[in-house]
Structure 1
Amino acid sequence: MLDQVEIFHGLSDEELKALEGSSTTRAFPKNTVVIHENDPADSLFFIESGKVKVYCSDKNGKEFIMNTLGPGITLVNWRCWMTRLAPRRCARLKNLNSAS
C-alpha cells in the first residue's frame, strides 16, 4: 500500500518492504486526537482507512475545519499548527516512524 503514496514513488520494492517492516499500524477510535497542535515533528502517518479531520480553534474554542483526509493520504507531523482528529468510526493510521 505504501507504493501508492506519492512521496514514496521511485523507491524500489526492497526499500518499500524495509519501510513497511519498520512501521507500525495503530487504530484510533472516533474523536481521538491523533496529532495535537504544537506536537514535535517526529512522525509521518499514512491513512490506511477511515477519515481524519484537520482543524484549528480560535481563542474561544470555535473550531475551523481546514480539511478532511482519507485513505492514501499522509499526515506529516511537522511542528503542528493544527490539530488532527479521527471524526468518524475508526481511523487506521500507519506510523512510519519506527520509534513509536
Structure 2
Amino acid sequence: DDEAGTILPPTSVEVEEGDSALDVLKRVTRQHKIQMEYSGASAAGYVEGISNLYEMDKGAESGWMYRVNGKFPSESAGAYRLKPGDTIEWLYTLDMGKDLEASR
C-alpha cells in the first residue's frame, strides 16, 4: 500500500538443502536488518509481523501470506520446503487473501 510500500525489492537468495520458506525469510530479514516476528517452530512456524506490520493491523482479516512460484501453498511457511530456483513472495493481505487472488 502507499504507507508500507515494498519492504524489500526482489532479492536473490541461496537456498540451502532442507530450507523452508520461513527459514529463508528469517535469514533474509536478519541480513537486511528488517524486523520480523514469528511464533511456533519448524512446521508450526507462523509469521506475525514483518517491518512492524502485523496481522490485524489493517483489519480483522489482514496478515501475511506467502506465494511460491505464483501459487499460495496450503502448508505453513515452516513446513514448505523450497527448491533452488523457487520464487518466494511475502504479501500482506487485507481480506484473508481474497485481495491477492488466493484461493484459500
Query: When the two structures are superposed, what TM-score results if normalisation uses the length of structure 1?
Result: 0.31
TM-score by length of 2: 0.30
Higher-RCO chain (CA-CA 8 Å, sequence separation at least 6):
1
